[in-house]
Amino acid sequence: MTGILVGLIIAVSLIVLVQLLRVNELISQVKNEDPNLVNDQDNQTQGVLAFLIMGVLFLGSVLWQFKYWGIHILPPASSLHGATIDTLMKVTCGLILFVFFITQPILAWFTYKYRGNSKKSAYFFAHNNKLELAWTIIPSLVLTPLIIYGLNVWNNITSVDTTDSQIIELYAKQFGWTARYAGDDNTLGDANYKLVKGLNELGVNMEDENAADDIITREVHLVVNQPVLLKMRSQDVIHSAFLPHFRVQMNCVPGMSTQFGFTPTQTTAEMKEQEGEDFDFVLLCNKICGAAHYNMKMKFIVESQEEYDAWIASQKNLKNTLTLK
């Protein structure tokens, strides 16, 4: 309800502003003044309005968004590397906001202080080496450590040891996901897009002995605190596998395989206690991949080893059937 009221107030304020400008034009016509001629009074009015809009309204709206929507910036992290990503996010956003809340008020004040004035003329810089060095070197000194920090975090996350990780393939196509478990041997059978036909929609090479125990499912079950390696393929266009709570995102590119390894640290049941009974870990597509992009969802369930063993035992492998569950 509060959001609706705020929206109405903003809408009414804009309407009033437009009408005031219209009234000002009509007054100018009555006085036989050229409405396109800008005088000092117009500059004063525009300077005040610019200051109020940029310095008060805009900054106020930013603070309001942080107060009421800041909790939605990042959902609770549920992976081993999640805290590292969150720290990087906080450092980056903190630096950006620090600069923003310094420069934005200055910009708003300058729009008023240096408004047009018939008694003053503007001074134009044709060239200034010191100024150009300043606005080149200072951002470089600030951004270089931040970039190095970000690359170091990314390298640490993507270079984890996946020797003991459970291997699961995520197969993307317009507009849905399919998962393929590597089975008891933890080795995926070969696949090729040329083999995509009928029930074999993942193009699995059934002549490969490693494919016999592969299991195809429409949802993913993971064991809490056990590492998993997601291998990703796409059948048609570029998709982006996005698991926000696990801080996982990787493009799925036609013609090549990508991967991302992580360790889930909270079960679905634990997250339901924190976030409510409607909570689910959900795989999304973070690329606008077509008209039904919104359908690119698949449930991830994190559970105990016993619960996982019971579930995986109920699934059929490719040796027995190619029928998708």
Q: Hey, which residues does 301 pair with through a beta bridge?
A: 221
Assigned domain for 53 exists: no
Per-residue pLDDT at 28 exceeds 80: no
Assigned domain for 252 exists: yes
Assigned domain for 240 exists: yes
Q: Whole-angstrom Cα distance, residue 295 to residue 282?
A: 12
**Confidence at residue 321, expressed as pLDDT on a 0 to 100 scale:** 62
CATH of the domain at 288: 2.60.40.420
Assigned domain for 158 exists: no
Range of weakest confidence among 67-76, 102-111, 232-241: 67-76
Which one-letter DSSP state was computed for residue 112?
H
Helix (H) or strand (E) holding 295: none
What are the tokens at 184? Answer: 């008891």
What are the tokens at 54? Answer: 């940029």
Strand order across the 297-303 sheet: 220-223, 297-303, 281-285, 239-243, 248-252
Assigned domain for 22 exists: no
Assigned domain for 227 exists: yes
pLDDT tens readout for residues 137-173: 998 998 999 999 999 999 999 888 888 899 999 999 9
Tell me the residue range of the domain where 214 lies: 166-313
Assigned domain for 145 exists: no
What are the tokens at 8? Answer: 């109405």
Assigned domain for 124 exists: no
Which one-letter DSSP state was computed for residue 52?
I
Which one-letter DSSP state was computed for residue 85?
H
Q: What does pTM read for this prediction?
A: 0.77
Overall domain count for the chain: 1
pLDDT tens readout for residues 165-222: 999 999 999 999 999 999 889 999 998 888 888 778 888 888 888 888 999 999 999 9
